[in-house]
């Protein structure tokens, strides 16, 4: 067992799944760089290749706690960008579909034998403040998981 908190392991596994987005794996897109653990817009420069993707933490809360287990909810946001071009909207839709397909695979995320529930919020597909060169995708993902409280 690693020294990482369970939620860190869960988010790391989500990043691993998103890094699988590649036509060789049956997806529409190929990511030219690994998925970041932050919003890629913070690091944009003239060399940033699109599409790019990252995950940022939004919130974390405990919903219940007993002597044996703690039920927690972590909300993260998948942030992705595609190039704005004549077929940019279609590329945006394809990348969003790739994200859904990799996050909601038939096999569940399990750690210590406990299943992690994954729920997607409503995707936002536009942000005028980012300018005209890119089209964004903001997809909140809620992860519900249990942590066992034994010593």
What percentage of the chain carries pLDDT values higher than 90? 48
pLDDT at residue 1 is higher than 50: no
What percentage of the chain carries pLDDT values higher than 70? 90
* Residue among 45, 140, 128, 114 at smallest CA distance from 84: 128
pLDDT at residue 130 is higher than 70: no
d(CA 78, CA 36): 10
Model pTM score: 0.86
- Predicted confidence (pLDDT) per residue in 136-148, tens digit: 999 999 998 877 7
Across 60-83, b (16+ Cβ under 10 Å) vs e yields eeeeeeeeeeeebbbbbbbbbbbe
């Amino acid at each position: 067992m690693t020294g990482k908190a369970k939620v860190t392991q869960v988010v790391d596994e989500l990043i691993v799944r998103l890094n699988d987005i590649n036509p060789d794996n049956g997806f529409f897109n190929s990511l030219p760089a690994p998925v970041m653990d932050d919003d890629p817009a913070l690091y944009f420069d003239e060399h940033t290749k699109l599409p790019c993707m990252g995950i940022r933490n939004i919130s974390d809360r405990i919903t219940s706690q007993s002597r044996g287990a703690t039920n927690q909810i972590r909300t993260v946001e998948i942030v992705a960008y595609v190039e704005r071009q004549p077929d940019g909207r279609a590329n945006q839709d394809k990348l969003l579909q790739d994200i859904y397909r990799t996050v909601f695979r038939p096999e569940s995320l399990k750690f210590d034998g406990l299943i992690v529930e994954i729920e997607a919020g409503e995707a936002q597909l536009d942000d005028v403040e980012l300018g005209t060169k890119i089209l964004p995708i903001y997809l909140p993902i809620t992860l519900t998981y249990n942590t066992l409280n034994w010593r």
